[in-house]
């Protein structure tokens, strides 16, 4: 299968590209720069020049493919305009879906378990919660699933708050950066709120399985661990950095964690039982705590910058 992949040079997308190539598929990756095109070529993939803002390039890339995996999304951070990022994401999904309409070809889009109701175990059939921290991504998921009625074998793959592994530049490295900057490894309140997790290589394999066999309209959860308490994450970070570990409460939470506050306070356990049954997917890689014991999380030079 010739697969068009957006975000193919990113943390998750690059693992998806390698997984696809290793399973005998051809890959064409969206490349917005010469450097991205070179990275795709080095991995063994072809490059299709364009950007998420260039809807014509997305339509052309999708039309020339046998299926699409959409992993690209503007990084979440202190300077991210999340509303703008989600608008661009929805428009990109719409453009790709239109190009695939009536073809029966697969289209896998990335969503998140963070758009489901906090505080309860999220399952694949759970409807998005308009009050959730990830609510702005709801239109992307809804737009994607609407193409099931247009003859597209579309599926939504929801990823948990922590997709971890070497090269991670998401929430965990940001938390490490905050610990370094403040000289304390903090957690909000009693730290009992939970993050579901998955290793990026397990997630990449699930993207491939979804492309190959997920039915139209499927909601999938790329979750390996249902919920790791944030306090446990902070304790291990403190141990590795030789810093005190402390609760951060009340008004200090926002000043201490900054842009990370809505995510570090999120209680988002999630299950993938239905996904595992449907596609025969079984997570095989180390869990988050085992991964956090490795040096790669503490050797990243940009970890502190991610939280600055």
**pLDDT above 70 for 54:** yes
Q: Supply the pLDDT for residue 132.
A: 87
Query: Is the domain of 233 the same as that of 111?
Result: no
- Buried b / exposed e across 3-29, counting CB within 10 Å, b at 16+? bbbbbbbbbbbbbbbbbbeeeebebbb
Query: Is the domain of 48 the same as that of 136?
Result: yes
Q: Supply the pLDDT for residue 160.
A: 96
Query: Is the domain of 13 the same as that of 143?
Result: yes
Query: Is the domain of 131 the same as that of 180?
Result: no
Q: Is 77 helix (H, G, I), strand (E, B) or coil?
A: coil
Q: Supply the pLDDT for residue 10.
A: 94
Helices (H) then strands (E): counts for the chain: 13, 12
Lowest-confidence segment of 52-56, 162-166, 212-216, 302-306 by average pLDDT? 302-306
**pLDDT above 70 for 306:** no
As a whole number of angstroms, the distance between CA 21 and CA 169 comes to 24
**pLDDT above 80 for 75:** no
Query: Is the domain of 113 the same as that of 246?
Result: no
Q: Supply the pLDDT for residue 302.
A: 45
Q: How far is CA 199 from the centre of its chain?
A: 11
**pLDDT above 50 for 292:** yes
Q: Supply the pLDDT for residue 189.
A: 97
Compute the average pLDDT of residues 13-36: 97
pLDDT tens profile 113-162? 999 999 999 999 999 999 888 888 999 999 999 999 999 999 999 999 99
152, 105 contact by CB (below 8 A): yes
Query: Is the domain of 145 the same as that of 235?
Result: no
Cβ-based neighbour number of residue 294 at 10 Å: 14
Structural domain including 192 reads 164-196+226-268+285-307
What sign for the dihedral angle of Cα 263, 115, 98, 163?
positive
Query: Is the domain of 26 the same as that of 175?
Result: no
The answer to whether residue 273 sits within a structural domain is no
**pLDDT above 70 for 234:** yes
Q: Supply the pLDDT for residue 81.
A: 81
The answer to whether residue 278 sits within a structural domain is no
Q: Which own/partner pairs from 263-266 qualify as long-range (CB within 8 Å, at least 24 positions apart)?
A: 263/76, 263/114, 263/133, 263/161, 263/171, 264/171, 264/175, 264/187, 264/188, 264/230, 265/188, 265/189, 265/193, 266/114, 266/118, 266/133, 266/161, 266/193, 266/195
The answer to whether residue 279 sits within a structural domain is no
The answer to whether residue 274 sits within a structural domain is no
pLDDT > 70: percent of the chain: 95
**pLDDT above 50 for 304:** no
Q: Supply the pLDDT for residue 301.
A: 55
The answer to whether residue 275 sits within a structural domain is no
Work out the mean pLDDT of the chain and round it to a whole number.
Answer: 93
Query: Is the domain of 78 the same as that of 176?
Result: no
Query: Is the domain of 184 the same as that of 83?
Result: no
Query: Is the domain of 109 the same as that of 218?
Result: yes
Beta bridge pairs of residue 27? 3
Task: Locate 191 and state its tokens.
Answer: 């730290």
Task: Locate 188 and state its tokens.
Answer: 């909000």
193, 232 contact by CB (below 8 A): no
The answer to whether residue 277 sits within a structural domain is no
Query: Is the domain of 103 the same as that of 172?
Result: no
Task: Locate 243 and state its tokens.
Answer: 């810093």
CATH number at residue 188: 3.90.25
Number of domains in the chain: 2
Q: How confident is the model at residue 76 (pLDDT cuts 50, 70, 90)?
A: low
CATH number at residue 156: 3.40.50.720
Query: Is the domain of 218 the same as that of 172?
Result: no
109, 154 contact by CB (below 8 A): yes
The answer to whether residue 276 sits within a structural domain is no
The answer to whether residue 10 sits within a structural domain is yes
**pLDDT above 50 for 308:** no
pLDDT > 90: percent of the chain: 88
């Amino acid at each position: 299968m010739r697969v068009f992949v957006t975000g193919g040079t990113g943390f998750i997308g690059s693992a998806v590209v390698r997984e696809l190539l290793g399973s005998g598929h051809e890959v064409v990756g969206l490349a917005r720069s010469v450097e991205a095109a070179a990275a795709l070529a080095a991995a063994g993939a072809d490059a299709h020049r364009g950007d998420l803002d260039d809807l014509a390039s997305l339509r052309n890339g999708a039309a020339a493919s046998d299926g699409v995996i959409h992993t690209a999304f503007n990084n979440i951070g202190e300077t991210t305009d999340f509303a703008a990022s989600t608008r661009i994401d929805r428009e990109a999904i719409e453009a790709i879906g239109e190009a695939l309409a009536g073809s029966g070809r697969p289209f896998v889009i990335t969503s998140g378990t963070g758009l489901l109701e906090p505080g309860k175990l999220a399952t694949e059939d759970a409807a998005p919660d308009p009050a959730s921290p990830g609510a702005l991504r709801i239109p992307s998921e809804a737009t994607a699933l609407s193409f099931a009625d247009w003859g597209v074998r579309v599926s939504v793959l929801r990823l948990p708050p922590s997709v971890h592994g070497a090269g991670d530049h998401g929430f965990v490295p940001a938390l490490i950066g905050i610990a370094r900057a403040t000289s304390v490894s903090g957690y909000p309140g009693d730290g009992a709120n939970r993050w579901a997790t998955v290793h990026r290589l397990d997630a990449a394999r699930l993207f491939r399985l979804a492309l190959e066999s997920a039915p139209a309209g499927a909601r999938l959860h790329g979750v390996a661990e249902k919920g790791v308490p944030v306090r446990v994450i902070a304790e291990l970070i403190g141990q590795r950095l030789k810093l005190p570990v402390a609760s951060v409460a009340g008004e200090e939470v926002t000043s201490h964690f900054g842009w990370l506050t809505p995510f570090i306070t999120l209680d988002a356990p999630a299950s993938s039982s239905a996904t595992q049954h449907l596609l025969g997917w079984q997570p095989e890689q180390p869990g988050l705590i085992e991964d956090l014991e490795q040096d790669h999380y503490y050797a990243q030079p940009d970890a502190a910058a991610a939280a600055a």
